[in-house]
Structure 1
Amino acid sequence: MCRWAAYIGERIFLEDIVSRPGHSLIHQSHCATQCHTATNADGFGIAWYDERPEPGQYRDIMPAWSDPNLRSLTAQVKSGLFLAHVRASTGTATSRNNCHPFTHGIWSFMHNGQVGGYDAFRRDADMMIPDALYANRRGATDSEALFLVALAEGLDDDPRGALERAAARFIRLARAKGAAPHLRMTAALSDGKMLYAVRYATDDLAPSLYYRWSDSRQGMAVVSEPLESDEAGWTEIPTASFCSFDDRGAVLVEEFHPCRLGLAAA
């Protein structure tokens, strides 16, 4: 399982989330505590927003703790909205194109989890991506395919509904040709204005997800694991939830039920 962290609020240095806290994302890359694998060494990435509507993006295949370029970048770059990810592969190759976050236009997206038995229906998943978006299929992961299908399902106008419909399509494929668990996921996505996050699983083992508003930073962190082991104020996001966060600290939690759509179409 991967680990990730996202932030929205006043502009801060990326290192304030990625490397500086006691249980920062870099610390989680080799000492995760709330997932099956403590080590997440199959690459990393950051997508951040600043002066332009499209996000900047930096990804590499090195373990996050061993790349001095990452530490230098996070110590110098400020942003009021960014997504960061350390990867533990569930089967696809360790390559830059398979590292999260993925981007398209103004959108950025990252995912932790798995689509059960994905290797058995990779071709079917690719066929769900329309021709207009398929040129953006750079890697081979289920996560990137899910992102592109969500874009096709109307992510620009309806982020929750688009991701719900895309997830339902993958669940149907996993039921028909894959294996259980049909879907486990936490994901973060952004259009440069809002930060969205989802927690869901078709079984009882949804990956962990938390959020916390910081008065000192004047921003919201959304994370796989709390950034400090002894820090109060972290709220665990319930499973089957889709959350919307703005830069003023407002949080909207809605239900997320792709299985209902999957059953209706069966």
Structure 2
Amino acid sequence: MCRWVAYAGPDLHPSTLILDTPHSLVAQSLHSPLGKETVNGDGFGIGWYPADAAPGRAPTLFRSIEPAWYDENLQELAHAIESPLFFAHVRAASGPPIQQTNCHPFRHQNWMFMHNGVLRQFGVMKRDILLEIEPALFSSIRGTTDSEALFYLAVTFGLAADPIGAMGRAIREVERIGDALSVPHPVQGTFAVTDGSTIWAFRYSSEHRSRTLFYSEDMGALQETYPDIDRLRQYGAGARVIVSEPLSDLPGAFVEVPESTVAVLEDGSYRQEAFLRDA
């Protein structure tokens, strides 16, 4: 469906992850060994919080319908920007048209969201899902994707106060609607959301066979284990990423996030919790 990268840590040029690693996000847009689709060429997006951003500031977005490997503006921006927290996403469209407003990540105030996967038979469920979204939010919905609809459903259900709970309630509501409309296994994917400080990444599907998700091991430990690998010295000790698939083949660098789990990156540390395992 798509591939994505979420980074938090010391200020970093996004190019380090989306262009310059052995299996960078742009490389995955051309050839994704673990993705449902090998090629993810239906647009891309990057969203970042400036290095000097005040708490609560909205992220900046750059989105394009160009394939990520083809867009020279992405090359320029990714090397020029420095950010302590950014999202990047390459898209393989599953139905909604290829247009800029359908490219991830999506933004609402200081919140940012991206998704790899699908709400199955979204056309069947779309009306019922949209009717559950707070009416005051409708003017903020710019595109036509299932992902953006799910994001605003989570905002409606209290994302700002309780990100894990709100995502759980939004997904359960989609499953309720899908069940009522005889849509089997309506939710599939991995989801990332941030308020500009903490990243929450969810691996969940209704059939409990979700898209892949990985987190990076402690950077300080990796630098000690591999002192001769120059590229590791580009990262500060607190650097962490959560990704759709590993950015390198370095043994021990990436660990798979379990099924039905939320991974949390906060203040340079990683933790994980069970997510929607009661069904």
Which band: TM-score by shorter chain? over 0.9
Contact persistence 1:168–1:258 (CA under 8 A): no
TM-score, normalised on structure 1? 0.94
Shift of 1:3: 0.3
Contact persistence 1:19–1:26 (CA under 8 A): yes
Report the AA paired with residue 110 of structure 1: M
Structure 2 residue 259 is the aligned partner of structure 1 residue 254: no
Identity over aligned pairs, percent? 37
Contact persistence 1:220–1:247 (CA under 8 A): no
| Superposition map of 1:1-266 within 5 A | 1-50=1-50, 51-52=52-53, 53-177=57-181, 179-212=183-216, 213-215=218-220, 216=233, 217-218=235-236, 219-248=239-268, 250-257=269-276, 260=279
**Aligned equivalents of 1:136, 1:258: Cα separation in 2:** 32
Q: 1:69 to 1:231 in 2, by over 3 A?
A: farther
User: Cα deviations across residues 115-142 of structure 1 (Å, max 9, x unaligned)?
Assistant: 1111112111111111111111101111
Shift of 1:240: 0.5
Report the AA paired with residue 165 of structure 1: R
TM-score, normalised on structure 2? 0.90
More deviation, 58-67/179-188:
179-188
Shift of 1:77: 0.4
Number of positions where the alignment pairs a residue of Structure 1 with one of Structure 2: 259
Shift of 1:204: 3.8
Tell me which stretches of 4 or more aligned residues in structure 1 moved more than 4 Å.
none
**Aligned equivalents of 1:100, 1:43: Cα separation in 2:** 9
Q: 1:134 to 1:258 in 2, by over 3 A?
A: farther
Contact persistence 1:116–1:178 (CA under 8 A): no
3-state SS of paired residue (2:69): helix
Contact persistence 1:168–1:259 (CA under 8 A): no
User: Cα deviations across residues 137-167 of structure 1 (Å, max 9, x unaligned)?
Assistant: 1011110011001011111110000000001
Shift of 1:202: 1.3
Contact persistence 2:263–2:271 (CA under 8 A): yes
**Aligned equivalents of 2:272, 2:71: Cα separation in 1:** 36
More deviation, 97-106/210-219:
210-219
3-state SS of paired residue (2:159): coil
Instruction: Give the equivalent residue in structure 2 for 1:263.
Output: none
Q: CA RMSD in A?
A: 1.3
Contact persistence 1:2–1:88 (CA under 8 A): yes
3-state SS of paired residue (2:140): coil
**Aligned equivalents of 2:250, 2:264: Cα separation in 1:** 26
3-state SS of paired residue (1:207): coil
Instruction: Give the equivalent residue in structure 2 for 1:264.
Output: none
**Aligned equivalents of 1:258, 1:49: Cα separation in 2:** 33
